[in-house]
Structure 1
Amino acid sequence: MDLSLIVVLAIGVGIVSSLFSSSQLAGSWKAAARVLGVAYQKKNSLAPPRIEGSVDGLHLTIDVRSSGNSKATRYRVQYPSLDVDLQVTRKTGISRVSEFLGAQDAETGDGAFDEEFTVKTSDPDRLETVLTPTVREAVRELLVALPAAKITEDHIVFDRRTVERKPDRIVQTAQRLLAMGMVLAQGGQTPPRRSDSSHEALPPLPPDPFQPWDAQELLAEEPPAVEPPAVEPPAETFSPEEILDPETGEFVTVS
């Protein structure tokens, strides 16, 4: 086969593969946006997907960021400012080394919390009113589940170092961040949990053969098979029968 023809075919297959993958990605993000009750935005087929809108008074944005050859999905939840400079992150190896070298972090008075998380603020005296026990518990739950998340005085941001392709994962991550944002916006009041029945179910999507993810997580579980009730056959009945009596030469009825 001519080399130029092979090259053309390879390019064609690559284009078709890319378009199919892009279509699958758009379908996943649209499904997630629908469940979250916000808008799916995409300028054209080549533009990265974007989800944006208001959820319970908080502003949610989910988009794709590029840096060199790497891409990440960024989640951002904005809420009314707490009127104090604040940054809360989970401690890393680097932050612990900085602490060892003399870097000072603000303390909440909760020894276990201060050991696990880094708190920076311009007004340490206000930490007690901002990081209440309820807020600290919500922070702990979020940063244990999403260690790379960062909480500030007016937003939470979290980057996952991949382009999200599973709508259920997008929804779950966004809901975690929204729950934390609601606690902060309400001054430490725990928001009521939404009933699962109020969320629209994710539609099953066909698997993407060009991406290494398992679409089985998106498929609704089939209900268990129900055995049909056993039906007993009707009782056998016998109708009267007439036979010839050889002695009398007459027909006799036998039941």
Structure 2
Amino acid sequence: MEALFVLCFFGGFAVLFGGLLAAAIYFSVHAARRSGRRWAEAAQRLGLTLVGQPRRGLFTGSGPSIRQTMEGERAGLRVQVGMRIVSSGSGKNRQTHYYSYAKAFFPTSLELGLAVTPTSFLSRAWTALVGASDLQLGDARIDEPYRIAAADEAAARALLTVPYLAEALIHGAHGSFEPYVSDTELRFEMSGQCLDAGPLGGALDQAVDLARRVLAARAEIGPTGTEDLVDRAWRPIAEARGLSIDLPQTRMSGRVEGVHVEVDAQLRGQRRVTVFTARFDRWLGVGLKLTRQSSLHAVGKLFGMVDVETGDPAFDDRFVVKGQPADAVKALLTPAVREQLVLLQQQAELLEVEDDRLSAVIGWLIRDPAWIDSGLVTVARAGAALAGVAGGAGPYRR
């Protein structure tokens, strides 16, 4: 009798547990399908297209998902509406956080190293404690609700204090969707899932409006200090060598000694560096990947990590070389090529070679015209040696 009672007890418990599990799966599946349908309806109402893989699950089947983004165009700008999904913790403490956003992309980078993010009193206190950068504009209506960082602080201050842009930032600080500004995009974001076209459309309108104000203000403030420097130092070289120069993007390009070369004053985080690039007319076709040798990779070799070696210690100790087949890679790395690459690496903070290009990074903005000209010639000769390009090569093909 006791055995029958125990059997019934555990049988009932198993049925109860199975029922609860089935109910949890049912409600989870129902919620996923319902949120996917609402997301698709919002995209349709906003005139946007769902992009990305639709939902495909064992229990949910296929259909639209909040993990897809809505994409399209507004006022000449590429726009996107999406859901940022962030998981934290593990096991029983694992949590999933949802952030709904609407963003507009700038046609080209602002090249200011700009980051405007909403903040709070505690965040400001922490920023002050650790000494993190927070550019102050002198207007508490902007300085208090936002943290501002920029590589070019003078240009960022001039930009963000243009009245019609400052007005929109002040207004944006008080909505459920808050603005984030970077060099490449403008995003309005709120915590939680927003599946309705009304508020999503409102956030998208705000993003497009503020993005257009940013672009107008950027044009209004004129050239930055970096653009002025590039104009003074690089333009004489461009004119002498017949190269084209793009001041807003701080880039110069054209052919030097038969090779398509570029020099670019790039932002890497909050630091501006000078990048010389030689682009090959034809891919090398061996999957080449050449980078600077590091102490970590040297240790890895002791544990069996393999790269292509030429038998030249002066070269092999400096570079990690990958590619297939190994014999074809070695054939490319002739003594003349190795000599050029070693010479270039001695002058660069970072040197990388791939199947379609060679890039050398100098860790600061070069202001000396003679150094810029010398760098162009050096990278062109290294590229020519590697790709076997003769003088008078045909036009560069992307």
Q: Same fold (TM over 0.5)?
A: yes
Question: Which 10-residue stretch deviates more, 161-170 or 99-108?
Answer: 99-108
Q: Can you list the C-alpha shifts for 1:55-100, whole angstroms capped at 9, x where unaligned?
A: 2213314124131212212424322322211122334222145347
Q: What is the one-letter code of the residue matched to 1:134?
A: Y
Q: Which runs of 5+ in 1 are unaligned?
A: 190-255
**Residue 32 of structure 1, CA deviation:** 1.5
- Whether 1:71 and 2:97 are equivalent positions in the alignment is yes
Q: Please name the residue that 1:113 is paired with.
A: 142
Q: Please name the residue that 2:118 is paired with.
A: 90
1:129 to 1:92, Cα distance in 2 relative to 1, 3 A = same
Q: Please name the residue that 2:35 is paired with.
A: 25
Normalising by structure 1, we get a TM-score of 0.61
Identify the structure with bigger relative contact order (alpha carbons < 8 Å, sequence gap 6+): 1
- Whether 1:15 and 2:25 are equivalent positions in the alignment is yes
Q: What is the one-letter code of the residue matched to 2:99?
A: T
Q: What is the one-letter code of the residue matched to 2:180?
A: K
Q: Please name the residue that 2:349 is paired with.
A: none
Q: Can you list the C-alpha shifts for 1:115-167, whole angstroms capped at 9, x where unaligned?
A: 44332212122135422111111111122214754211222345533233444
Q: Can you list the C-alpha shifts for 1:165-206, whole angstroms capped at 9, x where unaligned?
A: 4443333333332322232234379xxxxxxxxxxxxxxxxx
Q: Can you list the C-alpha shifts for 1:199-251, whole angstroms capped at 9, x where unaligned?
A: xxxxxxxxxxxxxxxxxxxxxxxxxxxxxxxxxxxxxxxxxxxxxxxxxxxxx
Q: Which runs of 5+ in 2 are unaligned?
A: 1-7, 58-64, 89-94, 220-398
CA RMSD of aligned residues (A): 3.1
Partners of 2:31 and 2:142 lie apart in 1 by 43
Contact 1:38-1:51 within 8 A present in 2 as well: no
- Whether 1:184 and 2:222 are equivalent positions in the alignment is no
Match of 1:40 among 31, 40, 50: 50
SS in 1 for 2:80: strand
Contact 1:22-1:45 within 8 A present in 2 as well: no
Q: What is the one-letter code of the residue matched to 2:97?
A: K
Partners of 1:67 and 1:169 lie apart in 2 by 25
Contact 1:28-1:166 within 8 A present in 2 as well: yes
Match of 2:67 among 49, 64, 69: 49
Contact 2:120-2:145 within 8 A present in 1 as well: no
Partners of 1:172 and 1:148 lie apart in 2 by 12
Q: Please name the residue that 1:58 is paired with.
A: 78
Q: Please name the residue that 2:257 is paired with.
A: none
Whichever structure has more strand as a proportion of its residues is 2
Runs of 4+ in 1 over 6 A off after TM superposition: none
Contact 1:40-1:49 within 8 A present in 2 as well: no
Contact 1:105-1:120 within 8 A present in 2 as well: yes
Max Rg structure: 1
The sequence identity of aligned pairs, in percent, is: 15
**How many positions carry a matched residue from both structures?**
189
**Residue 48 of structure 1, CA deviation:** 4.4
Contact 2:48-2:71 within 8 A present in 1 as well: yes
Q: Please name the residue that 2:342 is paired with.
A: none
1:45 to 1:167, Cα distance in 2 relative to 1, 3 A = farther
> Residues 210-221 of structure 1: matches in 2 within 5 Å?
none
> Residues 202-213 of structure 1: matches in 2 within 5 Å?
none
Partners of 2:99 and 2:130 lie apart in 1 by 33
Partners of 1:176 and 1:112 lie apart in 2 by 18
SS in 2 for 1:145: coil
Q: Please name the residue that 1:161 is paired with.
A: 191
Q: What is the one-letter code of the residue matched to 2:104?
A: V
- Whether 1:170 and 2:200 are equivalent positions in the alignment is yes
